[in-house]
Amino acid sequence: MLNYFGKRVEILLLIGIVLTILSPWIFTRSLGFINFHDTGDIGSTIGGITAPITSLIGALLIYYALVAQRQANKIQSENNSIQTLLTLILDLENKCSNLIFIDEKLNQRKGIAAFNSTSSILYYDQIKPYMGEKTDRYKNDLMVVINFGNYFNVISNAALIYDFIVLSEIDKTNKHILQKRFEQIYIVYLNKSLRRLDEYYTEDKQNDKIKYDKYFEEILMFRNKMISPIL
């Protein structure tokens, strides 16, 4: 009902204005079946009859202003959400391109090379003994805590951003654009390393070679979310 009147508010206002303008002429005519000359002061008569019309016009104007304000607030809220998401996506891309992996010889690998090194079978075998244990044990191997910590931080941020995009209340077109931008980053930097770690971890769990590890479970939970839209 509100949408019905909202779309026709201009017509209703026009009708009300026309009736208000014509009412003095109409109410001073003798129309035969209706005669306002016997109702007392003609000004009071016109005022009494047109008051509901002018009140209706005022109410419609207020309603129209509220609807316009609501739409403006919605647009502003969507723009803020889009800008926030875009900033987060760009920040994620920057973190991915600057991810550092330090090998045994203290050589640094950056970006895609860092993701590939983190998901290599050699590195996986290095961190396997720590799976299922308390985080404190990572301090025994500085390279493990640096490399895996940096990698896990990027994956965690990516998972949060993806959920933010999916749950955001923005129009479908902008959401689709943001999802595509996110998926590009995922494919370039994250997909290969997550697929490898998924294969290693799942195989070892099935063969009872390792215990449950909450960090890897979080990583693979994120990958499972991304399998459908990406692959």
Q: What are phi and psi of 30, to 5 degrees?
A: -100, 105
CA–CA dist 123, 140 (Å, integer):
16
CA–CA dist 12, 10 (Å, integer):
5
Tokens of 119: 């998901």
- The angle, 0 to 180 degrees and rounded to 10, between the axes of the packed helices 142-167 and 214-230 is 40
**Per-residue model confidence (pLDDT) at position 38:** 56
**Per-residue model confidence (pLDDT) at position 74:** 83
Tokens of 33: 């079946």
Q: What are phi and psi of 102, to 5 degrees?
A: -110, 120
Cβ distance 126 to 200 under 8 Å? no
- pLDDT tens by residue, the chain, 231 residues: 445 555 566 676 677 667 666 666 665 666 555 555 555 555 565 566 666 667 766 777 787 778 778 888 888 888 888 999 999 999 999 999 999 998 877 888 899 999 998 888 878 887 777 776 554 454 556 677 778 888 989 999 999 999 999 888 888 899 999 999 999 999 999 999 999 988 888 888 888 777 777 888 888 889 888 875 544
**Per-residue model confidence (pLDDT) at position 41:** 57
